[in-house]
């Protein structure tokens, strides 16, 4: 049995066993560049939970919204959001993720996200944004407060920050131990082991008000949190 966390450690473990990880450049960008092709092919682990999340996100969006998605990966969610809002800018640290995201885009330019390679805390053109999304990202960044401060700063008053990220401090001890082993072996990227309560405190410290916290499917380790910048 493997843990039902949103990040699929099995794929990364298997892929890294076939390459020389000791010699590889282990920066976060290099890690994600190397894993992007496999990540792009990976099916969504729980389609029902993903669709529920998407429905909740869509219900929060208005046709006039400018949306930023940070850590967008290969852009699947950004492409789904783009047709219902004014525009979507989707960024990712990994050039390879962005290359794949762009290669999958097409059709109506007005309904296509703009994909940019950028670090999560970077200032992005097109601000202020009404909505900033971060899915399966915050546990991976170097410094959560810096990323949240940047999101707060780039957001219009009254705007929303929408996050779903794994909170491994709420996981059983054996699962945390396994993740630490995978990190030490450089099979997994560096992960911040935080709890839902800590993540909530980070958001409040940055100036956000928590609007809702909920879970989708059976997963109780990745809270979906909607936080609002006061108007
Ligand atoms: C687990 S994937 C999630 C991708 C997408 N959000 C999703 O839900 O499928 C994490 C993504 O975050 C990106 N990432 C990791 N650290 C980052 C950082 N500091 N700034 C921006 N993107 C980052 C990785 O390149 C990768 O595409």
End-to-end CA distance of the chain: 46
DSSP code per residue over 175-200: HHHHHHHHHHTTSS-------HHHHH
Over the stretch 155-185, which tens digit does the pLDDT of each residue have? Answer: 999 999 999 999 999 999 999 999 999 999 8
Q: Is residue 1 part of a domain?
A: no
CATH number at residue 61: 3.40.50.150
Q: Is residue 174 part of a domain?
A: yes
Q: Identify the domain containing residue 62 by its residue range.
A: 9-228
Q: Is residue 100 part of a domain?
A: yes
148 — pLDDT class (breaks 50, 70, 90): very high
- Give the residue, by CA position, lying nearest to ligand 1 atom 13: 71
* Predicted pLDDT of residue 26: 63
* Predicted pLDDT of residue 5: 38
Residue 25: is its pLDDT beyond 70?
no
Q: Is residue 82 part of a domain?
A: yes
- Give the residue, by CA position, lying nearest to ligand 1 atom 15: 140
Using CA atoms, how far residue 204 sits from 104, 226, 228, in Å, is 36, 12, 10
Count of domains observed in the chain: 1
Q: Is residue 101 part of a domain?
A: yes
Alpha-helix runs per DSSP H in the chain: 9-17, 28-41, 47-59, 76-81, 95-103, 144-153, 173-184, 196-206
Over the stretch 66-101, which tens digit does the pLDDT of each residue have? Answer: 999 999 999 999 999 999 999 999 999 999 999 999
From 41, 45, 57, 93, the mutation candidate for ligand 1 (largest count of ligand atoms within 8 A of CB) is 93
| Backbone phi and psi for residue 59, each to the nearest 5 degrees, phi listed first | -65, -20
From 137, 142, 151, the mutation candidate for ligand 1 (largest count of ligand atoms within 8 A of CB) is 137
Residue carrying structure tokens 């969006």: 61
Q: Is residue 3 part of a domain?
A: no
């Amino acid at each position: 049995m493997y843990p039902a966390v949103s990040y699929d450690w099995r794929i990364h473990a298997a892929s890294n066993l076939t390459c020389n990880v000791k010699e590889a450049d282990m920066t976060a960008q290099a890690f994600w560049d190397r894993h992007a092709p496999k990540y792009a092919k990976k099916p969504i682990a729980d389609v029902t939970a993903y669709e529920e999340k998407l429905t909740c996100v869509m219900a929060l969006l208005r046709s006039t919204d400018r949306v930023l998605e940070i850590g967008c990966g290969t852009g699947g969610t950004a492409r789904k959001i783009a047709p219902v809002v004014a525009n979507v800018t989707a960024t990712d640290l990994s050039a390879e993720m962005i290359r794949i995201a762009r290669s999958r885009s097409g059709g109506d330019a007005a309904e296509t996200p703009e994909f940019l390679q950028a670090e999560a805390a970077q200032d992005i053109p097109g601000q202020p944004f009404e909505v900033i999304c971060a899915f399966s990202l915050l546990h991976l960044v170097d410094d959560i407060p810096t990323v949240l401060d940047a999101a707060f700063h780039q957001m219009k008053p009254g705007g929303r920050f929408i996050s779903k990220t794994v909170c491994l401090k709420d996981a059983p001890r054996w699962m945390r131990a396994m993740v630490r082993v995978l990190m030490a072996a450089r099979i997994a990227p560096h992960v911040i082991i935080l709890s839902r309560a800590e993540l909530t405190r980070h958001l409040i410290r940055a100036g956000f008000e928590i609007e809702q916290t909920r879970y989708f499917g059976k997963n109780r380790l990745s809270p979906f949190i909607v936080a609002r910048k006061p108007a």
